[in-house]
């Protein structure tokens, strides 16, 4: 009995995401619990969802569309074996520092990544600039987490 009570308490404590999103009341009011990114009371202890990192090896998953032209592409594959990028090791560049795209091959770094925008902005050199060495500053990988809310930003354009 005692453990049953405890289980019920746990269920209550963890009710956040499982609870159906509170809907508008008949008179049109929206309870606070229905607002925000965690559909629960501010007094509750919600259970965070379990999410999985992208386990697709490089080349297995399609290239994802960019948010807009010029936006850094999202990394479409597992990065756990390739990160962190350190001053001695850049496993990303091992594959991506190539001149041209081949069918099914890695996406080449664009010339901007060989250009020192601070001191020599007029031409691309032959090495990745230090300013862009830490790939994870701009490029993010992804998990299987669905969007928390939709976003109506102009539809993503195809990668180019």
| CB burial of residue 95 (10 Å; 0-12, 13-18, 19+) | middle
Near another protein in 92-121, by CB under 8 A: 93-94, 97-99, 109-121
Q: Does 159 bind another protein (CB under 8 A)?
A: no
Determine the Cα–Cα distance for residues 117 and 49; give it in Å rounded to an integer: 42
Near another protein in 121-150, by CB under 8 A: 121-134, 136-145, 147-150
Closest separation in Å from C-beta 34 to another protein: 9
Determine the Cα–Cα distance for residues 44 and 125; give it in Å rounded to an integer: 55
Q: Does 158 bind another protein (CB under 8 A)?
A: no
Near another protein in 19-78, by CB under 8 A: 25, 27-33, 35-38, 40, 42-43, 45-51, 67-72, 74
Closest separation in Å from C-beta 102 to another protein: 13
Determine the Cα–Cα distance for residues 78 and 1; give it in Å rounded to an integer: 46
- Residue from 87, 102, 104, 158 touching another protein (CB under 8 A): that is 87
Determine the Cα–Cα distance for residues 144 and 148; give it in Å rounded to an integer: 12
């Amino acid at each position: 009995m005692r453990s049953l009570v405890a289980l019920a308490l746990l269920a209550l404590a963890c009710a956040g995401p499982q609870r159906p999103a509170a809907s508008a009341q008949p008179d049109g009011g929206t309870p606070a619990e229905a607002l925000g990114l965690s559909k629960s009371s501010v007094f509750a202890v919600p259970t965070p969802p379990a999410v999985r990192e992208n386990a697709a090896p490089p080349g297995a998953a399609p290239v994802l569309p960019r948010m807009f032209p010029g936006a850094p592409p999202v990394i479409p594959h597992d990065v756990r074996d390739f990160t962190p990028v350190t001053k001695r090791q850049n496993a990303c560049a091992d594959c991506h520092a190539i001149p041209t795209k081949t069918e099914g091959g890695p996406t080449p770094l664009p010339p901007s990544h060989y250009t020192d925008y601070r001191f020599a902005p007029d031409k691309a050199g032959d090495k990745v600039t230090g300013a862009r060495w830490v790939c994870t500053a701009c490029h993010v990988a992804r998990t299987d987490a669905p969007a928390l809310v939709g976003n109506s930003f102009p539809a993503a354009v195809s990668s180019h």
